[in-house]
Structure 1
Amino acid sequence: MTSTQQGLTPRQARRLRMGIAAVAMVAMAVVLVIQLGDGSSLRSIGLYGAAFILSGAVIEMSRRGRTRLGMAVLVAGFVLLLGADWWLRSR
């Protein structure tokens, strides 16, 4: 008997990563609505807008088969956005 390694097919991995980016986009939408209700600053809203664009770009990359690159961009982008948000708030 040979054992086969169970894993995701490329299509399943692509759909999973697209789903993760979509969930991130929905989460950013919810936070943005809350921020707008609190009368948040324009720069915070701009950062959330950048997060929307980033999530959309990752979804498009995943659709075109660039899933690993898309996840790297998503993680790096959100780290940069969170860092920028922290830096702007501390000033």
Structure 2
Amino acid sequence: MGIAAAAMTVMAVVLVMQLGDGSSLVSLGLYGAAFVLSGAVIEMSRRGRTRLGMAVLVTGFVLVLVAEWLLRSR
């Protein structure tokens, strides 16, 4: 739960920075999705599904980072 909460905090900070930077709506949506994903993982952890939550968290963040990298490389 702590890792997901830390990830949620980091994503919130990055999202605010992206808002101030004037980034694209798709980029903001990706970070918003990562923020929601962190909340879902916290709930999974509270219900005893910690391993599944960590797998979802890692997979989700890898997908968000790859999508962000692809958006910036265009």
TM-score (norm 2): 0.94
Shift of 1:41: 1.0
In structure 1, what is the Cα distance between the partners aligned to 2:73 and 2:29?
17
* Corresponding residue pairs, total: 74
Stretches of 4+ aligned residues off by more than 2 angstroms: none
Q: Which residue of 56, 61, 71 maps to 1:88?
A: 71
Q: State the superposition RMSD in angstroms.
A: 0.8
TM-score (norm 1): 0.78
Amino acid at match of 1:48: Y
Shift of 1:88: 1.7
Are 2:30 and 1:67 aligned?
A: no
- What's the % identity of the aligned pairs? 84
**Alignment-derived partner of residue 11 in structure 1:** none
Amino acid at match of 2:59: A
Shift of 1:40: 1.1
In structure 2, what is the Cα distance between the partners aligned to 1:19 and 1:65?
14
**Alignment-derived partner of residue 11 in structure 2:** 28
Are 2:38 and 1:55 aligned?
A: yes
